Amino acid sequence: MNIQPLNEPVHRGLTHLRLLNFRSIAAADIALTPLTIFVGPNASGKSNILRSLSFLRNALTLQLNTALDLEGGLSSVRRKGPGVRITNRHTESEISGIDFQAPEIGLSVNCVLESTEGQWRQVEYGFQLKAIDPLRCRVVRERCLVYLLDGAKRKASAGFDRRPKSTTI
């Protein structure tokens, strides 16, 4: 994790984004600055990085199942792998084009905020989803931690780290 000491300018807003098996992105750990520009060839994942932020916003402001619906459902959000060929040894028939679907999806974001009292806070929020079947998933972890920034030090001030047992979406 990249934490700036407060003797350097503190940037408000998003500072870090982590993705796991979101759309075309297998894994990404992206440091964000006040001006972050994504450059790359077509179909390299630039739009999916932006869509992850939209998905995360919708999951926080609406409900997670609504955010999934707005994205086109679980199968639209989960990373798909290359098609594979499976041969049945007994009949020697081939089934091709079966897509691997990543079983777990993770999104997390860090941001720095200034309170009305002028106190700087760093907030880490994220969640992990595990696919149960092609249409349903469950929340396996949700975490939100808030730190007060005091000089180069962080002091935990609030938060939670949940691993629900039966939250199915």
d(CA 88, CA 2): 49
Residue 106 contacts by C-beta under 8 Å, 6 or more apart in sequence? 18, 19, 20, 21, 22, 126, 127, 128, 129
Q: What is the DSSP string of 1-14?
A: -----TTSPPPPEE
d(CA 56, CA 32): 16
Q: For the chain (length 169 residues), average pLDDT per consecutive 10?
A: 48 88 92 89 92 94 92 88 47 46 85 82 92 84 90 83 77
Q: Give the per-residue pLDDT at 92.
A: 45
Q: Give the per-residue pLDDT at 102.
A: 66
List, edge to edge, every strand of the sheet that includes 137-150: 25-31, 13-22, 104-114, 120-131, 137-150, 153-162
Q: Give the per-residue pLDDT at 168.
A: 65
Determine the distance from the C-alpha atom of residue 102 to the mean position of all C-alpha atoms in its chain, rounded to a whole number. 14
Q: Give the per-residue pLDDT at 27.
A: 92
